[in-house]
Chain A
Amino acid sequence: MKTKDRGRKLAGRNRLLACVLAAALSALLSVDGSARTVKDQTGRMVNVPENPHRLVSLAPNITEIVYALGLGDELVGDTENCDFPPEATSKPHVGTMVNPSLERIVALKPDLALGTPEANRRETADQLERLGIPLYGVTARTLQGTLASIEDLGKVLGRQAEARRLVSQMQTRIDRVENRIKGQPEPKVLFVVWYRPLITVGPHTFIADVIRAAGGIPIGENLQGEWPRLTLEELLPLSPDVILFPKAESFSPSLEEFRGLSGWKDLRAVKDGRMFFVSETVMRVGPRLVDALEELANIIHPRQP
């Protein structure tokens, strides 16, 4: 038999066997409740085991949430991009968020994979499904949504108590920020994702939501999409009071250089020197979002001495 045919027959027979096993297994499991079908945060139906203890995280923010819920030991694999907490870098890596190695994931024998549509591909989710590895989707577009997402994940992973505690701590800090800045005038804030061409955040992104919670008005409430481009001409009349830059290695110019850039140097925020770096945690939808919120609030509404 030609290898091509044998391969196909193997694949066919293997699939049949897998289907029969899966059917038998799910019949058994649903009887004693060790696995259940739930709707994940993206609306997909996922077959989640009752007490998952071999987790693979496909995004850095999910890794942070998993550790924050006390499940660091249950995490058997994460991506190369997972850099917080520091222990996460020594976990076995399955590749990048965008194109993880299916082989590596399978070799780790996870009982649940965790991913997010913001970082992972639809194809990865489909492929994992075909291999019988459930992928629970996590997503949030707002600060409050992040809290809800963490609580939901806690429920799925059997850590409701830890999740509720974490979320209430986060809520306390959010409330504290809100109380401190209540009543103060809200400056217009430009968040620069990239400066050449100028790319900022859309009004419905969670960075915009964090800016609002920190007592600022994100520039461009009527801009479309997640990462709208602005020309400098469009920027000038919008006249931001504060400009924020993410502190990334790829961001080379020093803030001083912007005073010399044409178009930029005419902005009030540049002339007043109200340009600031913010740490990249503002882009990570996880427990440290409140750190970013406090950082932004301190920049936008500096504490009076």
Chain B
Amino acid sequence: MTVPATPRNVIMVSLAMFLLLVLVVLASLTMGAVHLPLQAVWGALAARGGNSEAAVIVLQIRLPRILLAILVGAALSVAGTGLQALLRNPLADPYVLGISSGAAVGAIFALWIGGRIAAASPVAAFAGAMITMVWVYLLGRSGGRLASYTLILAGVITASFLSAIILFMLTLLSTRDVRGIAFWLMGDLSATPVAELRILAPAIVLAIAGVYVLAKDLNVLLLGAEEAAHLGVNVVRVELGVYILASLLTGIAVSTSGAIGYLGLLVPHLGRMLVGNDHRMLLPTAALGGAILLVLSDTLARTALAPSELPVGAVTAVAGAPVFIYLLRKTAG
């Protein structure tokens, strides 16, 4: 289905999805390993604090996690959308260019050094992601442009190489650290303190806004680089802009919550099935859709086998595929 990307439509669809997100968040706040009666949850939210058990659980355990899920879900979905446009390849996802492998190497490296550096492993992960971004750019550009063919190759090769490094480094770590990294590799939305969210939120929102600014150009870019250039698009600048912003979004997401897969790949497709290819409509849909899906996945992850927790990356994979297949068959008619 294609929804024409008039400003009115964009606002309407975004508002509708935002309301859905609010509902999902409220529902998710009431669910968890500890059964809290609804009044306790509303009470905790309304009282805006306090030390009651419900307040601590709802506001200090569930809410930060949900907020992080919103940010990471939106970040990965927008990154995926941007990269699929940049590379003109529907199989592109935020991890195909090696960013998540670079972040993993950074995190493992910090754990290996240990001590205070280990505590700052998200920073090290982000550094790893950014170094990989620069490296893949230098490797994959040709003639000053990010020609999709060489960039994909550079990204895939780098990701493979880094995966080998990761496996090697895992043998160097102590059992305890390997356990910690295993959770990170499977996706973990619980380990980020609220204070970090204050930094993450504006960064992610700004980066998503940056991609949105390029939305019209991304539409034109889909026609092909030469055609786009003929139509007045500064192809080099747009490509570089999308590349950097998508890498930033992926780097931030992966550094804080590990490698949560399938979202960046599937959400853009789901978005296109719902609203069409126009990025002015697709980007907000993907951002909010990704946020909703990740909040749902994380809620399922922490309630399905309570008090045990499933890794959220496993839930996105198991849940994402059937949803996608269903919609695929539906649109294939």
Contact = CB atoms under 8 A, between A and B. Distances in A.
Interface string A99-128: 111111011010000000110011100110
A11 B175 contact: no
Contacts of B175: 118, 226-227
Nearest to B175: A226
A121 B307 contact: no
Contact of B67 (A4, A17, A107, A130): A4
Interface in A80-108: 80, 93-96, 98-104, 106-107
B180 interface: yes
A182 interface: no
Contacts of A117: 176
Interface string A1-23: 00110011111111101100100
Contacts of A9: 48
User: What does DSSP make chain B's interface, helix, strand, loop or mixed?
Assistant: helix
B314 interface: no
Interface in A1-56: 3-4, 7-15, 17-18, 21
B60 A13 contact: no
A49 B112 CA distance: 34
A106 B201 contact: no
Residue with the highest number of chain B CB atoms closer than 10 Å, among A104, A117, A126: A104
A95 B308 CA distance: 5
A103 B176 contact: no
B309 interface: yes
A131 interface: yes
B315 interface: no
Contacts of A118: 175-176
Contacts of A121: 176, 179-180, 183
B129 to A, nearest CB: 20
A80 B34 CA distance: 16
Contacts of B118: 122
Given A101-B309, A121-B180, A121-B183, A11 B194 contact: yes
Contacts of B176: 117-118, 121-122
Nearest to A21: B51
User: What does DSSP make chain A's interface, helix, strand, loop or mixed?
Assistant: helix
A18 B195 CA distance: 14
B49 A102 contact: no
B174 interface: yes
B125 interface: no
Given A4-B70, A104-B307, A127 B56 contact: no
Nearest to A100: B307
B153 interface: no
A14 B59 contact: yes
Interface string B88-123: 000000000000000000000000000000110000
Interface stretch (B25-33, B246-254, B263-271, B272-280): B25-33
Interface in B182-234: 183, 188, 190-191, 193-194, 197-198, 201
B49 A13 contact: yes
Given A10-B45, A109-B53, A123-B180, A226 B63 contact: no
A126 B59 CA distance: 17
B245 interface: no
Given A95-B307, A102-B61, A17 B33 contact: no
B64 interface: yes
Contact of B308 (A10, A99, A109): A99
A107 B12 CA distance: 41
Interface in A259-293: none
Contacts of B59: 10-11, 14
B57 interface: yes
A4 B66 CA distance: 10
Interface string B38-68: 0000000100111101011101111110110
Contacts of B45: 10
B306 interface: yes
B191 A127 contact: yes
B323 interface: no
A269 to B, nearest CB: 27
B20 interface: no
B22 interface: yes
Contacts of A17: 49-50
B183 A123 contact: yes
A225 B32 CA distance: 38
29 contacts: A4-B70, A7-B67, A8-B197, A8-B201, A10-B49, A10-B59, A11-B63, A11-B64, A14-B50, A14-B55, A14-B59, A21-B51, A80-B308, A95-B306, A95-B309, A96-B308, A101-B33, A103-B33, A103-B34, A103-B62, A103-B307, A104-B34, A106-B53, A122-B118, A123-B191, A126-B193, A127-B190, A226-B175, A227-B175
Interface of B: 22, 25-26, 32-34, 45, 48-51, 53, 55-57, 59-64, 66-67, 70, 118-119, 174-176, 179-180, 183, 188, 190-191, 193-194, 197-198, 201, 302, 306-309
Q: Which 9 A-B pairs have the closest CB atoms?
A: A101-B307, A95-B307, A14-B49, A101-B33, A103-B34, A123-B191, A103-B33, A107-B34, A11-B194
